[in-house]
């Protein structure tokens, strides 16, 4: 990534295959479905797997950890060896993992299967990279917006469907359905998506990949298990300290080698650094509503504030969150073309703040949760759509996969931190009835306030992002550089094109 390649002229993109965008977006939706699969049966996992609640949480934690590790690594491999090839590999590993989980009810094989499913997270940055390489500039903004929002779209659609399946059939059908979607995505990708000719120079940084993987696992493990182990326990604090040490040593290594896994000098640029930090805040805000509203909707009315809805109805009430994100993509493209991705990011964050502020008072009826979902979906859709545009506009085409992989990782860290913090808040404010912890309205409102605070931090970070680049700067470019703007953009940071 830092190894200077020889300047080579870009070839104009001649492909106008309209199937690229929907097929890549579908791959993103499949990834989101895989993540959301077990949400309806989370509380039943100990019984379904015949294990303890603390052991059952590994079924979710394993997917999170493998996804966090795979995202930047698959992005870099895509830059080096072909993004389509790595996208197909990610989806294939996910299908294998889904089949393993579908044929078992034992804890260890289930964890193995879910770990393999986490590798599908690499599809998001790889899809964004393919879009940059293959699409003309005028289509790139809305395409990346749709790809970036696909996580929310898939999650919103999958929640009610997974709930219906879990209520009416064997829960293993969820995994077979995910495997079927994965196979369909592989076939569509083979048919409709060409392999990019853009390549980064250098070799794969195996030591850097191992160091980043170890550092991330040591960091995310205590975040996800801290409530079980105790936040001040020797284990939790020791893992955090070990993570800091490993990531520090990893950073020193990455700065000293010619072709690192993550170019930290690029990552330290103001536009990249602030975008990644803002991504963490957006990830926090996205996950809070996903944790709070389904619980509020399903709590019995006897609590005095629960809405007494079924699992399926709760899923349908939250589904507009994802659907609105999907419909926001074309709106984002128009706004970004006129005002730039920085402005749309700030606008999205402001709408999220309005949504959470309104949500503090709109919790007494199911229709009110739908309103909150729509408002938050609009804001999150705009924010999510802006993030890859800001990253792509700041890095070389040969770094797109790795840079967007790191950005997707930042969002994942945000959701992980959100899950841990909100879980702790709800547990500490819960009422215990017959040995069962019942979340309280106070806990829900505190959670919304935490999300609002995260959004405020995100707005502050976004304000300090650079404004729109001048026309002769490296803006949102596809690999088609058949105009003077692209020639100027690539003159400073050329990439190698190989057939």
pLDDT tens for 53-105 read 778 878 877 887 888 888 888 888 888 888 899 999 999 999 999 999 999 98
Q: Is 129 exposed, middle or buried (0-12, 13-18, 19+ CB in 10 A)?
A: buried
**CA dihedral (276, 381, 291, 99) positive or negative:** negative
CATH, residue 369: 1.20.1250.20
**CA dihedral (60, 63, 66, 69) positive or negative:** negative
Distance CA 73, CA 80 (A): 11
Inside any domain, residue 230: no
Instruction: Tell me what percent of the residues of the chain surpass a pLDDT of 90.
Output: 21
Inside any domain, residue 390: yes
Inside any domain, residue 235: no
**Containing domain of residue 373, as a range?**
20-205+257-497
Distance CA 375, CA 380 (A): 9
Inside any domain, residue 181: yes
What's the predicted TM-score (pTM) here?
Answer: 0.76
pLDDT at residue 42 above 80? no
Question: Which run of H or E residues covers position 431?
Answer: strand 431-433
Residues 6+ apart with CB under 8 A from 306: 296, 297, 298, 299, 300
pLDDT at residue 486 above 70? no
Inside any domain, residue 334: yes
Rounded average pLDDT over 183-192: 94
Give DSSP secondary structure letters for 222-281.
HHHHHHHH-TTSHHHHHHHHHHHHHHHHHHHHHHHSSS-SS-HHHHTSHHHHHHHHHHHH
Inside any domain, residue 149: yes
According to the model, what pLDDT value does residue 238 have? 94
Rounded average pLDDT over 303-322: 80
Inside any domain, residue 30: yes
Q: How many domains does the chain have?
A: 1
According to the model, what pLDDT value does residue 461 have? 92
Distance CA 325, CA 290 (A): 14
Cα atoms in the Cβ-side hemisphere of radius 13 Å centred on 14: 2
Confidence at 6, pLDDT banded by 50, 70, 90: very low
pLDDT at residue 494 above 70? no
Inside any domain, residue 415: yes
Angle CA(118)–CA(124)–CA(126) in degrees, nearest 5? Answer: 105
pLDDT (tens digit per residue) in 415-458: 878 877 887 888 788 787 766 778 888 888 899 999 999 999 99
According to the model, what pLDDT value does residue 221 have? 84
Rounded average pLDDT over 399-416: 78
Please state, rounded to an integer, the average pLDDT across all residues of the chain: 80
């Amino acid at each position: 990534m830092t190894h200077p390649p020889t300047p080579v002229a870009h070839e104009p993109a001649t492909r106008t295959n309209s199937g690229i965008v929907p097929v890549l977006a579908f791959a993103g939706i499949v990834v989101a479905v895989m993540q959301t699969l077990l949400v309806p049966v989370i509380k039943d996992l100990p019984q379904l797997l015949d294990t303890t609640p603390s052991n059952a949480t590994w079924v979710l934690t394993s997917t999170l950890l493998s996804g966090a590790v795979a995202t930047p690594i698959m992005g870099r491999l895509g830059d080096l060896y072909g993004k389509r090839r790595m996208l197909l590999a990610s989806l294939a590993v996910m299908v294998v993992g889904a089949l393993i989980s579908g044929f078992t009810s034992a804890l260890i094989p289930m964890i193995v299967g879910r770990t393999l499913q986490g590798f599908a997270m690499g599809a998001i940055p790889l899809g964004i990279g393919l879009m940059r390489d293959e699409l003309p500039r005028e289509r790139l903004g809305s395409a990346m917006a749709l790809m970036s929002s696909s996580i929310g779209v898939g999650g919103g659609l999958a929640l009610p469907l997974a709930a219906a399946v879990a209520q009416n059939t064997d829960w293993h059908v969820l995994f077979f359905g995910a495997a079927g979607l994965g196979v369909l995505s592989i076939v569509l990708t083979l048919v409709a998506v060409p392999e990019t000719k853009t390549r980064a120079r250098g070799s794969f940084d195996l030591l850097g990949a191992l160091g980043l993987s170890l550092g991330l696992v040591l960091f995310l493990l205590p975040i996800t298990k801290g409530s079980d182990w105790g936040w001040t326990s020797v284990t939790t604090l020791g893992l955090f300290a070990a993570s800091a040490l490993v990531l520090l040593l990893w950073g020193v290594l990455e700065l000293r080698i010619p072709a690192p896994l993550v170019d930290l000098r690029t990552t330290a640029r103001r536009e990249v650094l602030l975008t990644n930090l803002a991504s963490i805040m957006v990830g926090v805000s996205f996950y809070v509503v996903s944790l709070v509203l389904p619980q509020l909707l399903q709590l019995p009315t006897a609590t005095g504030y629960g809405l007494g809805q079924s699992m399926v109805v709760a899923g349908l009430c939250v589904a507009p969150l994802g659907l609105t994100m999907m419909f926001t993509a074309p709106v984002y493209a128009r706004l970004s073309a006129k005002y730039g991705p920085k402005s749309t990011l700030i606008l999205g964050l402001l709408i999220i703040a309005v949504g959470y502020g309104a949500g503090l008072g709109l919790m007494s009826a199911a229709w009110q949760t739908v309103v909150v979902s729509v408002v938050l979906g609009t804001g999150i859709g705009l924010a999510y759509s802006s993030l890859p545009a800001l990253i792509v506009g700041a890095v070389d085409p040969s770094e797109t996969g790795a840079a967007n992989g790191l950005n997707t990782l930042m969002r994942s860290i945000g959701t992980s931190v959100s899950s841990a913090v909100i879980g702790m808040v709800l547990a500490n404010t819960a009422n215990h009835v017959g040995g069962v912890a019942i979340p309280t309205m106070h806990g829900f409102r505190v959670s919304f306030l935490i999300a609002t605070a995260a959004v405020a931090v995100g707005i502050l970070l976004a304000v300090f992002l650079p404004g729109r680049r001048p026309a002769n700067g490296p803006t949102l470019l596809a690999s088609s550089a058949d105009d003077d703007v692209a020639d100027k953009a690539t003159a400073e940071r050329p990439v190698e094109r190989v057939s």
